[in-house]
Amino acid sequence: MHSMTNTQDLNLRLESTLQELPLWEVQVELDRPGNVLTTLFEQEPLLPGVILTRNQCFVGMISRQRFFEHMSRPYSFGLYSKRPIDNLYNFLQPEVFILAEDMPVVEATQVALQRSLEFFYEPILVTTKSRRHKLVDFHQLLLAYSQIYALTLTQLQQVEEQSKIARAGFRDLKHNYTRLLQNEKMAALGQLVAGIAHEINNPINFIAGNLVHAIDYTQNLLNLISLYQQQYPHPAAEIQTASTQIELDYLIDDLPNLLASMQIGCDRIGQIVRSLRNFSRLDEAERKTVDIHEGIDSTLLILKSRLKNLENGKNVTIVKEYENLPLVECYAGLLNQVFMNILNNAIDALDEWVNGEITDSPKIQIRTQVIDSDWIAIHITDNGPGIPKKVQKQLFDPFFTTKPVGKGTGLGLSISYQIVVEKHGGQLHCISTVGKGSEFIIKIPIQSEK
């Protein structure tokens, strides 16, 4: 039995608890054969895991990811599919993460985010007051957290509109809140990005390593076939028929091309993984000397899908004008977030400018320069609709946004300003003309002040 509702349809509150989320309650006895789990997971594509019992008493849990990850290994399916689940469970000994149903969603999310990367995406066991056990999908928990976070922002905005007393103190409160949010957001984002990169990297290394040998073996086989054809130009009729049926000549021509395309695909995935790791920079909590261009390129690669097929059917052209910059001493992960925020805003501006005078060629120009021996600058320019003068004055204020409700929080540029000005002692300002586009200029010192 299970109960499943879309998290988007739930009427969550700031104090909502785990019992208000979609919970699964699918139980299987340990003496049942392993293929029962396969059937359950195939019947319920969204089922995150199964609760295991012995004589109707709770024993543990096995997740969809762990189950299929193990069963896909050589001989595992034949070894465990018809034997009792108890054998597989004893072999895996999966770690379970148990929380009470009355724990608030916000607190549960913070606790879950502290798990190690190996168990980061595992479902969470929820115990009820009647001592029953249920499962909540980790992704559903994140969606609920996001919805409650949006409610929090809404209430903060309402308080801002209604309150005319102690305005200066309230501004400081928002300033501190964005700092805390920045730290928590970057920690969670860094873990997620690094986890995804790690999960992709392991199988792609396996494929890429074996592909080299596959290409070599294939070429040897093709050479052997060619030698046979030279030595025996008139094979038996049965061999000629089989060669015709499998289109041997075409196969010989196309197989190297097929393997070459697979090699290109592996190289491309490897490039994406390196960019994800470079963007997250989890290992760089302190200042380090880095290549600014590498950070910009990694951010562009992550945003590549957003640069294609805007609402007006056009693609955004990226124009890069890089000077030969020295290595810069900075917080690389934080600067990458600044690039991400500004480029995202530029893409949004080009994407939404569909009712006015649409530019024929949406374009974002990224230009870097050495100002002098102590400073460098990064210019990010778009040819979108531009920003009105009165809006420019509030551009870096916390919670200020011109985007529709639900699309923007008003924190991106505020956080970017704090990162550039307060964390790096730099400068961030905007030059914009309505109808011609906007330019954001980031100036940072090459070396930090000791």
Q: Are 29 and 86 in contact (CB under 8 A)?
A: no
- 433-445: average pLDDT: 91
What is the arithmetic mean of pLDDT over 25-34? 91
Task: Band the pLDDT of 243: cuts 50, 70, 90.
Answer: confident
- The pLDDT-based confidence of 321 (bands split at 50, 70, 90) is very high
| pLDDT at 79 (0 to 100) | 83
Euclidean distance between CA atoms 151 and 129, whole angstroms: 28
Q: Parallel, antiparallel, or unpaired for β 363-370 and 317-321?
A: parallel
pLDDT at 344: 87
Residue 272: name the closest of 357, 201, 337 by CA.
201
Q: How far is CA 240 from the centre of its chain?
A: 52
Interatomic CA distance for residues 337 and 117, integer angstroms? 22
The C-alpha atoms of residue 398 and residue 337 are separated, in whole angstroms, by: 16
Lowest mean pLDDT among 135-139, 265-269, 338-342: 265-269
- State yes or no: pLDDT of 1 exceeds 50: no
Cα separation, 91 vs 85, in Å, equals 10
Q: Is residue 17 over pLDDT 50?
A: yes
Does the structure show a pLDDT above 90 at 419?
A: no
Tell me the per-residue pLDDT of 381-411, one tens digit each, with 9 for 90 and over: 998 888 888 888 778 776 666 665 555 555 6
Task: List the alpha helices (DSSP H) in 248-309.
Answer: 248-280, 292-302
What's the chain's average pLDDT?
81
Highest mean pLDDT among 51-55, 145-149, 185-189: 51-55
Work out the average pLDDT over 289-315: 82
* Mean pLDDT of the 98-121 span: 86
CA pseudo-torsion sign 249, 252, 258, 260: negative
Ordered by where they begin, the domains of the chain are 7-146 (3.10.580.10), 166-282 (no CATH), 284-445 (3.30.565.10)
Highest mean pLDDT: which of 151-155, 173-177, 223-227, 389-393? Answer: 223-227
**Any idea how long the chain is?**
450
